[in-house]
A and B are shown apart, each in its own frame.
Chain A
């Protein structure tokens, strides 16, 4: 079983619709992240959270919101989807050991298409 689970794996939605991508983890990590990947652009950080009461904007947060419902759950919402939000979305977690050597552990990604 995956340690970081993203649902759904694939989603097609229409412009203007609200959509939620969900992420849950069994790694016991405090830190969780949402990234999007576009071809040729690498991964860009949308939001991150260090614990349930902590939410931080990343590089490209406009048009997105997040909710940290529990230590193990971190969801990403698109309030009104637009076609340029078509991308591969990754959730990731990391250990809160307090050092910068903690790698991110990624889910398998959600491929979102906005038509």
Chain B
């Protein structure tokens, strides 16, 4: 079974600084996808970025990038130039054989002025 571990329950970062949110995973499937979602205090789940297990390049989407280290089974999210609006819960997820996603427990990020 696929499993996601997010070891940082809470993180702080100052506005305009970069922050890395950790995610490690465990899977026996050779083919899988890794996803990051943002959940602001309003509650909706917002898709941020995707990385495929066979992708050679690290994924980037605007200020978000994914530091994918396959041998270490890690898929850390890097947010550059943090903004106050980045304050939210962040969830890492992995696609399973049924194409549903298994989620980690999340990391709460607070961006301070």
Chain B residues whose C-beta falls within 8 Å of the C-beta of A48 in the assembled complex: 98, 100
Q: A43-B91, A100-B33, A103-B50 are in contact. Are A109 and B99 (CB under 8 A)?
A: no
Chain A residues whose C-beta falls within 8 Å of the C-beta of B105 in the assembled complex: 40-42
The answer to whether B31 has its CB under 8 Å from any CB of chain A is yes
Stretch from B40-48, B63-71, B72-80 at the A interface: B40-48
Tell me, rounded to whole Å, the shortest Cβ–Cβ distance linking B86 to chain A.
19
* CA A50 to CA B47, docked complex, whole Å: 20
Are B99 and A94 interface neighbours, CB within 8 A?
yes
* CA A103 to CA B105, docked complex, whole Å: 18
Q: Range of interface residues on chain B?
A: 20 to 34
Q: Mark A55-94, 1 if CB is under 8 A from B, else 0.
A: 0101100000000000000000000000000001010101
What 19 new A-B contacts, CB under 8 Å, besides A42-B91, A101-B95? A31-B99, A35-B103, A41-B105, A42-B4, A43-B91, A43-B101, A44-B103, A45-B100, A48-B100, A56-B98, A88-B43, A90-B45, A92-B45, A100-B32, A100-B95, A101-B33, A101-B52, A103-B47, A105-B47
Interface residues of B (CB under 8 A from A): 4, 9, 31-33, 35, 43-45, 47, 50, 52, 91, 93, 95, 98-106
